[in-house]
Amino acid sequence: MIRRTTTSGIITATILLLAGCGDRGAEPPKHPPEVDSKRSATSTRSIQPPPAVRDRLRTEPVTLHPIPEVVTAPGEVALDLKQVAKITSRIEGQVEQIHVQLGDRVKPSQPLAAIGSLQLDQLIEEYLVGKAQANVAENSFRRTEKLRADDIVPERKLIEDKGRYLETKARYQHTREKLVNMGLSISELTELERGRHQEGHRYTLTSPIAGTVVAQNAVRGQGVAPGNELFEVVDTSRVWVFANLSIEQARKFKEGDTGTITPKGAKAMTAPLTYLAPVADETTRTIQVRFEVANPQGQLKPREYVDVTLTLPGSPTLAVPVSAVTTADKIRGVFIEQESAYTFMPIDIGREGGGWVEVRKGVKRGDRVVIEGVFDLKNVLLKEHIGTGD
C-alpha cells in the first residue's frame, strides 16, 4: 500500500515538471526596445533654390563680433523738480485780479494775480514812516558829529543822537525785510520810497520760472492766507525718467552712462544717467536710477510709462546677424552657402544684442551664412520636405 502511493506521487511530479517545461518553451522571445535614430528631416539638408530665389539671397562670412549686453527695465517719466514752482501767498488778503488761467504759458516774473491786503498797507506805511525817521535821525547825528568835533556840543549829545539814529535805522530795516520776505523786490521798495507805490497797495504774485500753469486754485474775490498754494507752474522742456535695476545690474553702470528712453508710439531718445540710489529699496531690493532727458517738444509726458535700455560693450565672439537665424521643424539654425547649394545648419545660440546673435555651436569662422532671403530659402526647404514625404 505504501509502495503504490509513492509511485503515484513520482508520476504526478514528473507530469507537472514536463508541463512546466512546455510552458517555458512557449514564451515569446524578448526584443530590445526600438531606438528612434531618425534625425530631423530638415536638419543639415542641402537644397538648390531656383534662380528667382537665388537672386534675392545675400550672404556674409561668420566673423568675430562684439555682442553688447543689453539691460532693459520699465521706466516712468517724472517732473524735474528744478523745473517746478508752487506759488503761494505770503500775506493775508483778498484776490482782486487774475492775470492768467490754467494752461497759459508764462515767463519769469510774469504777474499771475494781484492781492489786496490791509496787512501790506500797514507794513508799507510803517516802512515809509520808519524810512523818514531814519533819515531825520541820521541827519541829526551827522550834524552833532560836526558840532562835537568843534567842541560846541557835549559828548552826551553825540551819544544820544547816535543811539536814536541806530534805533530808527534798525526799525526801518526790520520792516524792509518783512516786505522783501513777502515778495516785494528792491525796485518796488525803491518806488515806494519815491512815493510811487501801487494804488491800493496790491501785492502781485509772479512766476519765478518760465513754464505752463498746470494748477490754478485762485478766483477773484477769494480770501487767502500765508502759505495758500494758488498756482503751480511747470517746465517740461527737461524731465526725469526713473527705473529700477537689480543690484547686480546696477553695479555695472555709473553716473554719466548713456541710456535709451523709448516712449510708446514715439521715437527713442538718449539721455545721461545722473543718479544711482546709494541704498537699495527695502521691499524690492532694487536700485533706483534716474535719467535727465531733454524734452523740448514735450514728447514725454510726466507720469507716463516708457522703456529704458542700458547697453554694456561686450568682447568679440563668433556671431551672425539676427536676420540670419530662423526656425525650421522646431530647430533653430542658419543657412550656409556651400558651392551651388545651401544647407540648413542647426546652431546653439548665446547672447543677443545690437542686431547680432552669439553662436556657440554649429558654424565656424569663415562659413558664409545667408542674411537676406532666409524666408525664401525656408519655404524651398519645407516644400522639398513635404514633397519627399519625410
Predicted confidence at residue 110, as pLDDT, reads 94
What's the pLDDT score for residue 229? 94
CATH code at 71-81+235-311:
2.40.30.170
Residue 113 to residue 350: CA distance in whole angstroms: 63
Q: What is the pLDDT of residues 163-219, one digit of tens each?
A: 999 999 999 899 888 888 776 778 778 777 776 555 556 788 999 999 999 999 999
pTM (whole model) above 0.85: no
Please give the class, per CATH, of domain 46-68+315-388: mainly beta
| Beta carbons of 116 and 256 less than 8 angstroms apart | no
pLDDT (0 to 100) of residue 389: 53
What is the pLDDT, as a whole number, of residue 13? Answer: 46
pLDDT score recorded for residue 390: 54
Return the domain boundaries, the chain: 46-68+315-388, 71-81+235-311, 90-226
For residue 197, the model assigns a pLDDT of: 55
Please spell the DSSP secondary structure of 39-85, one letter per residue.
PPTTTT-EE---HHHHTT-EEEE-EEEE--EEEEEEEEEEE-GGGEE
The ranges of the chain with pLDDT < 50 are 1-39, 41
- pLDDT for the residue numbered 387: 61
pLDDT score recorded for residue 125: 84
Closest by alpha carbon to 286, among 296, 273, 274, 277?
Answer: 277
Q: What is the pLDDT of residue 201?
A: 66
Predicted local distance difference test score (pLDDT) of residue 30: 45
Task: Report the pLDDT value the prediction gives residue 370, as an integer from 0 to 100.
Answer: 93
Looking at residue 182, its pLDDT comes to 74
pLDDT of residue 242: 98
The closest of 330, 329, 326, 328 to 374, measured between CA atoms, is: 326
- Would 46-68+315-388 and 71-81+235-311 be classified into the same CATH topology? no
Region of 39 please: left (phi>0), alpha (psi -120 to 50) or beta.
beta
- 3-class state of residue 332 by DSSP: strand
**Residue pLDDT, tens place only, 80-117:** 999 999 999 888 889 999 999 999 999 999 999 999 88
Task: Report pLDDT for 219.
Answer: 94
The pLDDT, as a whole number, for residue 118 is 83
Q: Which three cell numbers stand for residue 152?
A: 560846541
